[in-house]
Structure 1
Amino acid sequence: MEVVGVAQDDAISPVEGVAVLEALFRQSPTGLLILDTQLRILRLNLTVPGLHGTPPGQIVGRHFTEVYDLSAPGEVVAMLEGVLASGAPARNHLVRVRPKGAPGPEYLFSVSASRLESPQRRVLGVLAEMLDVTEREKVGARLRVFGSVREGVGRTLDVVATCEELVHEVVPDLADIAVVDVVDAVVRGEDPPLSPLGLEVPLRRAAYGHSGGEEQMQAHPVGDVRALPFPTPFAQTLADLVPRVVALGPDTPWLAADPPRAAAIRASGAHSLITVPLALRGTVLGLLSLYRTGQTDTYERGDVTLARAVAAHTALCIDNARRYTREHTIALTIQRHVLLPLPATQTTVETAHMHVPSAVGGGGGFDTFALPGARTALMVGEVAGQGVHAATTLGQIRTATHSLAALGLEPDELVARLNDTALSLAQERATLPPGDRVPVRGSCAYAVYDPLAQTCAIALAGHPPPVIAHPDGTTEIPDLPAGPPLGSAEGSPFAVTTLPVTDGSILAFYTASLLYVSPSPDTLQQVLAHPDRPLQDLCDEVLYRLRNDTCHGDVFLLLARTRTFPAHHVARWDLDPHAKAVATARAHTRQQLALWGIDEETAYTTEMIVSELVTNAVRYGTPPLRLQLIKDRALTCEVHDGNSLAPRLRHANTIDEGGRGLFIIAQLAQNWGVRYSLEGKTVWAEKTLPTATPP
């Protein structure tokens, strides 16, 4: 089959050209303007936007800028003249215009222009196409505002900071003035009240922003706390949780109920207001107030929709920040109960501490407590995580430390048992829901200072070693085995190092966070080079040298200055390992307690305790045998022998002739226990003195 082709010709006849032109001007949905070389209007169609029904006869012949009130007339004229001069078309230039002499909102046109030429290439004028894109651009602008709010609001877990982020994102694109008021209880992390909000519930002015260069008058300063006045659209919005668009004018009736706000509105020239509740799941978090001033368009339905979406996102961010604030407050409360208000100062140890809490709430802590034999335990540590989980883990570790220390364990043995405790806690938490499976890891330094031997035994579990400042001003960081962190299932065993400590030395224990925030690792040594200063002054000096950066966790510093124990409050006797040793020990005890001025009742019970301790040592122990009495805040009786076998408490039967020694001791003493060493064991018992004063 033969295909017949049709010849194509670029040229069209004048009749066809006129037909095309007439079709465009009668049927095109786009506004068309024909301008001459002087930019005067020669012809236009009826769909040209923004003319409000003005007859074409009143427009033809007038200059383009005389018909429209252009926001930037110079740019539009330059664009059209550029098309006339170069012949290159211009496409989709956005122009803001208002009708000349006619009231109404501002329009946004997309203007395209092409040069008109005769067949002889003579320039005849310009064909301008105008498309009203006002609504399209408004929708796009609103979407951009909402995108900015979603990206920029909620980056912090702070209620006030979240409100400030909101103001920053909506001014000036959505409002010339933005005000955020939050229920005061929400700022503190408490549960928000249910709707409707009572008239007496106070709100805190959390954030304020404006687009003007000059400072605007505010009804109430940021931080002010007060209830909303009634009747006003603000109070009503929080009563029914319905946004409101309010026209503002000099005769607005409700302004009389809030004179400060009325004065601020008049001073700013605000003419339009949107009030939007910050609400979530039927609870009221606060209120967002948006104002437009001056020549800015009044608010429309689309603006209300955007304000709703912005408020919904912000309310969720505020509630997240509130929940974090609440959890952070709970964690700090737990940590305060775990930490001592002030370290207990022992007879032979003076202590001071520094605590710099982090923004996230870490799981660090310290402790000092007395041990039998005038010894003092010092501990600093931290656990992984933050918030309530870290604080509770810290409390469990601290409780375990006290319980294990009461057993008389050496530091390395105690740290090993703490590691077992951490592993046990991790196994328990492994059975919890996924959100609660917080790992149990941490580090600690545990030390025992013995003033009688003038030594300090230290064991580390993944923790930095202490700094020791000697009385002569020299400092050192001893080379100690670090040991694996707490919660390690595998690793090298824990080790203990015993260091000689002279009178007046300072032991400085700290958490690893101190190394991150101090300007240099030797900062602590520089401060401790003056050990004669008061301990609290030394803590403050370290604090003043820290950078403003605590994101790595809580910073703890515990300083302990050692003292010698008064020699006249210690008595020691070597005993022969035979039955007569019991009577000898009682006699020594009676004489020494008389020298110390101990009352008769306490002296009598102490003699019985010594008698039972020495009897057990003679019967079941091995040489050497030694008795030691220590008068501190309590009266301690210690009997040492060379046998490492542990005695045990028995409940003897009625017909048994023995087996009641430790039972009697447990009844007469406030506390008793066994302490082991390479030379054997020491069985001790403590008796509270009537007047608990240091020697």
Structure 2
Amino acid sequence: MGRHKEQGGARQGFDVADAAPLLLDPHGLVSGWTAHAERLLGHGAAEAVGRKFADLLEAGDAERMEDLLHRCRAGGDWTGLMTALHRDGHPVPVSVRVAPATAPQGRPAVLVLLSELGDGARGWDMSRGVLEQIVVGNPIGIAIVDQELRYVWSNAALERWGGGPGRSRLGLRVADVQPGMDSEAVEERMRHVLETGEQVVGYEYVGRVRSAPLRETAHMLSFTRIEDDRGDPMGVYYTVVDVTDRHRARQRLALLDRAGQYIGRTLDVMTTAQELADVAVPGLADFVTVDLLETVLRGAEPVPEPLAGSERVPLRRAGHRSLYEDLPRTAVDSGAVVSYLMDSPPVRCLTTGESWRQEQLDPLAVEWAAGAPDGRESTFLELGLQSVMIVPIRARGVTLGLTTFFRRRQSPFDPDDLHLAEDLVSRAAVCVDNARRYTRERDAALVLQRSLLPRRLPDQDAVEVAACYRPADELTGLGGDWYDVIPLAAARVALVVGEVPGHGIDAAAAMGRLRTAVRTLAAIDLPPEEVLAHLDDLASRSARDDGDGEGDDGGGGGSSVGSACVYVVYDPADGRCTMAAAGHPAPAVVAPDGTVGFVDLPQGPPLGVGGPPFEAVEVSLAEGSTLVLHTDGLLAYGGDGVEESGRERLRRALEGMARELRPSCQAVVDALVPARPEDDVALLMARTRRLASEQIAAWELSPDPAVVADARRTAQDQLSRWGLDEEVKFTTELLVSELVTNAIRHASGRVRLRLIRERTLVCEVLDGGASAPHLRHPRAMDEGGRGLLLVSQLAERWGTRFVPDGKIIWAEQPLTTPPE
């Protein structure tokens, strides 16, 4: 009945099982009636047979029926839309196909196929030829499987998916025609559709198929259940659309998006190079290496022509990532030196700045093998790597190195892959160059800061000291934290910890200026509160001179405004400790028995911001106590408990400290501060000592010039008991004579002579005067004014410091005999 086409042995015509067939004689009388026609129009066979079919149509369609019968008698057919009349009188829109046929007795007849056009109708409203074109010639792959998921039909478009023509598929399952794909996942969805009747639309399968065994492809599949007239499942038909291009475009965008999030999270060159390799595997390649010029790793400017005068070009392996573990260490060692032949593709890419792609390596292409540090070479073919791309790392017009992409089992790199690699590397190149520039600045700042910080802590007997400094991580930048230990007269020592706001070279320079100022003020032996007052004035003047005093938030790094500092003076003669702070945490004290406390120290304002005057406190420390001075970065990181304060965490760390000071200092920083902190941290720990009573000798003198001779003899006797040599005795006799005479002549009140024998011999004279003497150079005929000039010539150093009950003039001379 009617025409049909065959392809690959499977029938490709329309299935008319859902149409109601009628048989008419050549005059248009119904000669054959079916149950389907009765369900559609309501007339039984007894009523319909022998009746004109035109009587079952609306008037206009009844008139057309005569013309259609004449066309069929001439051998033609017709398909179109009509309106039939139901037995109860309501109209039934139908799709009608009229075609010539042969009755069972061999007489001519007319076949009429009726399909309802109402909602949910399953009839055809187009000709069979049109629908055959839609299904058979559809560029979308279509297939039908039975209830056992075996192929019963497929169109030609499905052949592009692999698995052979439709004839060879018949009776097979997906796993039989696509052995490389995950057939279980596909058949699982087919079974779900068979069991539930629910359509599965837009299922994306990503994997390898027979049509592209070396390349990952993507196909969009939709599944629909086929049912018979009773609604029972017969099988599943599904459609397949190749969406590989869309899938790859989505992958490329995802890869570039991941690169934007992942690459450049730090300002470390090696880390950034490794991030580039990590992003590219496995999304783009099986094995990736990142090689950089040595100058880039040092933070220096890349040399434009690093290639002249050598047979090989050395680079440094800065990053790598591989899907395989069988690559030799010479290929994957980070930091190893690799070298390439002068006329090799990598060197050409390095010199020209252009990329290079090879779909399939051959023995002639491996002469550019990477040279191992031990002189051996491993060719890329020996590593099983087949396809390669080389993309130079270029930023701001300068080539920094190379990124090489390899594939072992995937399909060869194509031009789209090269464009993606160039886009990926160009984004990473900016991050690498930023890291290089930061490395240069950070190294310069570190050199500057380390040159400004104490290279070694000075020798002195007042305290045992240990210090630890941890710079901020590369994202935050180097800060301006600092510490210092300054020996003072009379065996005393000044301990200083400070912090300059900001980061980078400017902060380091500001820190250097502040530290120099502190040492200068310490040299004139000012009390702690006066030292801070002078520093405050200095910061204010510097801000006014630089024009950044107003609106400066401290983040620029070049100003001392907002700096913090704590200044401590410890006297080992009596254990007194005087300190003052400017916007800085108070020191902690670890007692000899291990208990930890914090000094109740009034907090003055940060330097340069103005506020109330600075206040000092004085505490007495037992011998063996440990002073802990630190910047605020030590307390900035949370502990195990959310509510635990920084002081409590410091207390716990100090309570468990070892007896040895240096390892304890490092252990406290490690316990409280991460390896790469966001802010600089400086910690200074000083364990106090006391001078023995036999190292100090003191005498109260009456303000009478006659006691000068007694003072000389008393000093001589003490030096003899200490076993000092005659030269020291002679010098000390002159110093005592001049200093005591000067005190009696120019001051009033009490006079006290004190000798301190430590690393040096210190001679001190206390008087009640409030004016400081000054050195002058007398003329030849002057009778006086030579006392302090003589003192300055005899002593290694001398000075004046003020105390609550007057002033002390002191002179210090070295000892040739070490103390016992």
Does structure 2 conserve the Cα–Cα contact (< 8 Å) formed by 1:523 and 1:542? no
TM-aligned CA deviation for residue 9 of structure 1? 8.8
Seen in structure 2, the aligned counterparts of structure 1 residues 313 and 426 have a Cα distance that, compared at 3 Å, is farther
Q: Which amino acid aligns with 1:682?
A: I
Who is 2:438 aligned against?
324
TM-aligned CA deviation for residue 610 of structure 1? 4.9
Of 765, 788, 796, 1:639 maps to: 765
Q: Secondary structure at the match of 1:381?
A: strand
Q: Report matched runs for 1:533-552 at 5 Å.
A: 533-536=659-662, 538-539=664-665, 542=668, 551=677
- Pair 1:232 & 2:232 matched: no
Does structure 1 conserve the Cα–Cα contact (< 8 Å) formed by 2:163 and 2:177? no
Q: Which amino acid aligns with 1:332?
A: L
- Pair 1:563 & 2:675 matched: no
Of 562, 566, 579, 1:445 maps to: 566
Of 388, 403, 406, 1:273 maps to: 388
Who is 1:133 aligned against?
243
TM-aligned CA deviation for residue 300 of structure 1? 1.0
- Distance in 1 between residues matched to 2:371 and 2:628, nearest whole Å: 60
TM-aligned CA deviation for residue 401 of structure 1? 1.3
Q: Which amino acid aligns with 1:449?
A: Y
Of 410, 419, 429, 2:527 maps to: 410
- Distance in 2 between residues matched to 1:451 and 1:241, nearest whole Å: 68
- Distance in 2 between residues matched to 1:470 and 1:75, nearest whole Å: 71
Seen in structure 2, the aligned counterparts of structure 1 residues 568 and 162 have a Cα distance that, compared at 3 Å, is closer
TM-aligned CA deviation for residue 602 of structure 1? 6.7
Q: Which amino acid aligns with 1:405?
A: A
Of 626, 644, 651, 2:752 maps to: 626
- Distance in 2 between residues matched to 1:431 and 1:408, nearest whole Å: 31
TM-aligned CA deviation for residue 667 of structure 1? 5.3
Who is 2:420 aligned against?
306
Q: Secondary structure at the match of 1:71?
A: coil
- Pair 1:399 & 2:525 matched: no
TM-aligned CA deviation for residue 40 of structure 1? 4.3
- Distance in 2 between residues matched to 1:395 and 1:126, nearest whole Å: 81
TM-aligned CA deviation for residue 692 of structure 1? 8.0
Of 577, 598, 609, 1:489 maps to: 609
- Distance in 1 between residues matched to 2:145 and 2:654, nearest whole Å: 86
Asked which structure has the greater RCO (Cα within 8 Å, sep 6+), the reply is: 1
Q: Secondary structure at the match of 2:603?
A: coil
Number of residue pairs the alignment of both structures matches: 679
Give 5+ residue unaligned stretches, structure 2. Answer: 1-81, 84-90, 98-124, 641-648
TM-aligned CA deviation for residue 221 of structure 1? 4.0
- Pair 1:192 & 2:312 matched: no
TM-aligned CA deviation for residue 482 of structure 1? 3.7
Who is 1:144 aligned against?
254
Of 368, 374, 380, 2:485 maps to: 368
Q: Report matched runs for 1:591-670 at 5 Å.
A: 610=736, 612-650=738-776, 662=788, 665-666=791-792, 669-670=795-796
Who is 2:448 aligned against?
334
Does structure 2 conserve the Cα–Cα contact (< 8 Å) formed by 1:623 and 1:642? yes
Q: Which amino acid aligns with 1:93?
A: Y
Range that drifts further, 96-105 or 162-171: 96-105
Q: Secondary structure at the match of 2:461?
A: coil
Who is 1:509 aligned against?
629
Does structure 2 conserve the Cα–Cα contact (< 8 Å) formed by 1:358 and 1:553? yes
TM-aligned CA deviation for residue 682 of structure 1? 1.8
Q: Which amino acid aligns with 1:617?
A: A
- Distance in 2 between residues matched to 1:52 and 1:542, nearest whole Å: 67
What is the RMSD computed on CA atoms of the aligned residues?
4.4
Q: Which amino acid aligns with 2:600?
A: L
Q: Secondary structure at the match of 2:443?
A: helix
Who is 2:333 aligned against?
222
Does structure 2 conserve the Cα–Cα contact (< 8 Å) formed by 1:195 and 1:240? no
Q: Which amino acid aligns with 1:576?
A: P
TM-aligned CA deviation for residue 280 of structure 1? 1.9
Seen in structure 2, the aligned counterparts of structure 1 residues 98 and 418 have a Cα distance that, compared at 3 Å, is closer
Who is 2:816 aligned against?
691
Q: Secondary structure at the match of 1:110?
A: strand
Seen in structure 2, the aligned counterparts of structure 1 residues 649 and 259 have a Cα distance that, compared at 3 Å, is closer
- Distance in 1 between residues matched to 2:762 and 2:265, nearest whole Å: 58
Who is 2:363 aligned against?
251
- Pair 1:31 & 2:140 matched: yes
Who is 2:577 aligned against?
456
TM-aligned CA deviation for residue 399 of structure 1? 1.2
Who is 1:3 aligned against?
none
Does structure 2 conserve the Cα–Cα contact (< 8 Å) formed by 1:625 and 1:641? yes
Q: Report matched runs for 1:291-302 at 5 Å.
A: 291-294=406-409, 296-302=410-416
- Distance in 1 between residues matched to 2:389 and 2:247, nearest whole Å: 21
TM-aligned CA deviation for residue 643 of structure 1? 2.1
Of 149, 155, 159, 2:269 maps to: 159
Does structure 1 conserve the Cα–Cα contact (< 8 Å) formed by 2:634 and 2:669? no
Q: Deviations over 1:46-83 (max 9, x none)?
A: x66837999x7877968684776662334445545655
TM-aligned CA deviation for residue 314 of structure 1? 1.8
Who is 1:346 aligned against?
460
TM-aligned CA deviation for residue 107 of structure 1? 4.3
- Distance in 2 between residues matched to 1:185 and 1:692, nearest whole Å: 54
| Percent identical residues | 32
Range that drifts further, 127-136 or 313-322: 127-136
Q: Deviations over 1:177-233 (max 9, x none)?
A: 222233344334343333555665543333332235x55445434235223231433
TM-score, normalised by the number of residues in structure 2: 0.70
Does structure 2 conserve the Cα–Cα contact (< 8 Å) formed by 1:202 and 1:225? no
Seen in structure 2, the aligned counterparts of structure 1 residues 235 and 482 have a Cα distance that, compared at 3 Å, is farther
Does structure 2 conserve the Cα–Cα contact (< 8 Å) formed by 1:68 and 1:98? no
Q: Secondary structure at the match of 1:270?
A: coil
Q: Secondary structure at the match of 2:273?
A: helix
Who is 1:672 aligned against?
798
TM-aligned CA deviation for residue 301 of structure 1? 0.9
Q: Which amino acid aligns with 1:521?
A: L
Range that drifts further, 56-65 or 485-494: 56-65
Q: Which amino acid aligns with 1:71?
A: M
Seen in structure 2, the aligned counterparts of structure 1 residues 557 and 592 have a Cα distance that, compared at 3 Å, is closer
TM-aligned CA deviation for residue 370 of structure 1? 1.8
Seen in structure 2, the aligned counterparts of structure 1 residues 476 and 98 have a Cα distance that, compared at 3 Å, is closer
- Distance in 2 between residues matched to 1:142 and 1:323, nearest whole Å: 29
Give 5+ residue unaligned stretches, structure 1. Answer: 1-5
TM-aligned CA deviation for residue 148 of structure 1? 0.8
Who is 1:182 aligned against?
292
Q: Deviations over 1:346-384 (max 9, x none)?
A: 234333444555545554333222212222222233344
Please say which structure displays the higher CA radius of gyration.
Answer: 2
Does structure 1 conserve the Cα–Cα contact (< 8 Å) formed by 2:626 and 2:685? no
Range that drifts further, 147-156 or 258-267: 258-267
